[in-house]
Amino acid sequence: MAVTPLRVVFAGTPDFAVPCLEACRAAGVEVVAVYTQPDRPAGRGRKLAASPVKEAALAAGIPVEQPESFKAEADRERLAAYAPDLMVVVAYGLILPRKVLSIPRLGCWNVHASLLPRWRGAAPIQRAILAGDDESGVDLMQMEAGLDTGPVLVERRTPIAGDDTGGSLHDRLSALGAEALAEGLRRTMAGETLVPRAQPSEGVEYAHKLDKVEARLDFTQPALALERKVRAFDPWPVAEGDVAGERLRIWAARAVPGRAGAEPGTVLAANRDGIDIACADGALRLTAVQRAGGRRIGAADYLNARPELKQASS
């Protein structure tokens, strides 16, 4: 079967996008340039750091472009000069204007980490866990001017397990995104025209960007909702809660039966199995925590430093 090479411009920034860049290279397309966000301050020293996609592109010898936006005509002209057949966009961090979407001959594809139209927007992975969804996936979408509104070209699905975290689901969807993109590229280069499937008008949900303020656990909420928050916010921004007067980062927890009438926030039990905190409905058992300035530790190790909790709950 004849294969038509494609000139591809890849646009992405975080770790999530790197497997998709690798999928482009493995598919045999010519990645003529990589676009990524400008270097940002990072770490304790706040030194400028390259994005994971930039590092991968430089290692592969691919030209890197880092415009602040595409508002300037010069930036759009520079993109057009690469003469791309296709632009692949994966967690790039910029909304592309119509004038950019029309530059590539085949338009722009986006790899989005949800089953559209559910969870359009910035944080679909964490919002799916927070909502208690039992399934997620990745859509390869033909981009249009609206935010994640374009028709779907290829889809991959995966169940959300009861112990999935934001990190574990992120990694699985990143790999699935690379698979979906590879399929789309393979079929296109083989001469097939991918049939777009319009998104349903019902079931639209917007996945707002995560905010550290959301990480605070409110024990007047049901334990199951707080368990989902702990899982969704691992590894960032990490849930936080007050335990007997001390603010802790909560890395792992699960909902368990509580004590009827207990005041939310009360320590109900504290032993090697965990620390049970009363909630509006049930209790939240903390199994991995982190003290200020410390490292992640198991509940048993934490209780060694606070033996009064075991005595108070006995």
SS3 labels along 76-130: HHHHHHCCCCEEEEECCCCCCCHHHHCCCCCCEEEEECCCCCCCEECCHHHHHHH
Q: How far apart are CA 143 and CA 62, in angstroms?
A: 24
DSSP summary character for residue 197: B
Q: Is 94 annotated as a binding residue?
A: no
Gap between the terminal Cα atoms of the chain: 72
Q: By three-state DSSP, how is residue 32 classified?
A: strand
Tell me how far the alpha carbon of residue 149 is from its chain's centroid: 18
Element containing residue 58 per DSSP (H, E): helix 52-59
Beta strands in the chain (DSSP E): 7-12, 30-35, 40-42, 47-49, 64-65, 86-90, 108-112, 120-121, 135-142, 152-159, 206-207, 239-243, 246-256, 267-271, 274-278, 283-290, 296-298
How far are the Cα atoms of 15, 39, 42, 53 from residue 47, in angstroms, in the given order?
Answer: 19, 9, 6, 18
Q: Is 130 annotated as a binding residue?
A: no
Cβ contact 173:136 at 8 Å? yes
Q: Is 303 annotated as a binding residue?
A: no
Q: How far apart are CA 158 and CA 137, in angstroms?
A: 5
Q: Is 136 annotated as a binding residue?
A: no
Structural tokens at position 285: 């058992």
Cβ contact 229:142 at 8 Å? no
Q: Which residues are annotated as a binding site for (6S)-5,6,7,8-tetrahydrofolate?
A: 114-117
Report the binding-site residues: 114-117
